Amino acid sequence: EVQLVESGGGLVQPGGSLRLSCEASGFTFSTYSMNWVRQAPGKGLEWVSYISSSSGTMYYADSVKGRFTISRDNAKSSLYLQMNSLRAEDTAVYYCARDVRSGWYDYWGQGTLVTVSS
């Protein structure tokens, strides 16, 4: 059974940093690209970042470019999102999602809530 489990969310002050993790199981993690997608409270879905299976290619939404860094450790079947210079508008549930056929998200984690507030 495919499982994605996010962790690392919490309350952080504006300007602070946080590192999210997503632990994968039930599939060969190293062969899949992965993504982070977020959802602000009561709002819609926003794609945040993408990383290819070998970490050779990464993309970011303009809203997080230069502040967030996506990475992965295939030996640990884990995906990460380093978030720096956090702003109130980064408050959201952050989901990791498996990428299939170059852009569809077939499995999602349960999400981890990040709250940026003083």
Partner 1 sequence: EIVLTQSPATLSLSPGERATLSCRASQSVSSYLAWYQQKPGQAPRLLISDASNRATGIPARFSGSGSGTDFTLTISSLEPEDFAVYYCQQRSNWPRTFGQGTKVEIK
| Residue whose structure tokens are 């590192």 | 19
To partner 1, the closest distance from the beta carbon of 41 in angstroms equals 12
To partner 1, the closest distance from the beta carbon of 109 in angstroms equals 7
To partner 1, the closest distance from the beta carbon of 44 in angstroms equals 5
Q: Nearer Cβ to partner 1, position 8 or 111? A: 111
- Going by C-beta distance under 8 Å and a sequence separation of 6 or more, which residues neighbour residue 54? none
- Fill in the DSSP letter of residue 5: E
Q: Nearer Cβ to partner 1, position 49 or 83? A: 49
- Going by C-beta distance under 8 Å and a sequence separation of 6 or more, which residues neighbour residue 16? 86, 116
Q: Nearer Cβ to partner 1, position 29 or 95? A: 95
56 Rama class: left (phi>0) / alpha (psi -120 to 50) / beta:
alpha
List interacting residues with partner 1 (CB under 8 A): 35, 37, 44-47, 50, 59-62, 95, 100-106, 108-111
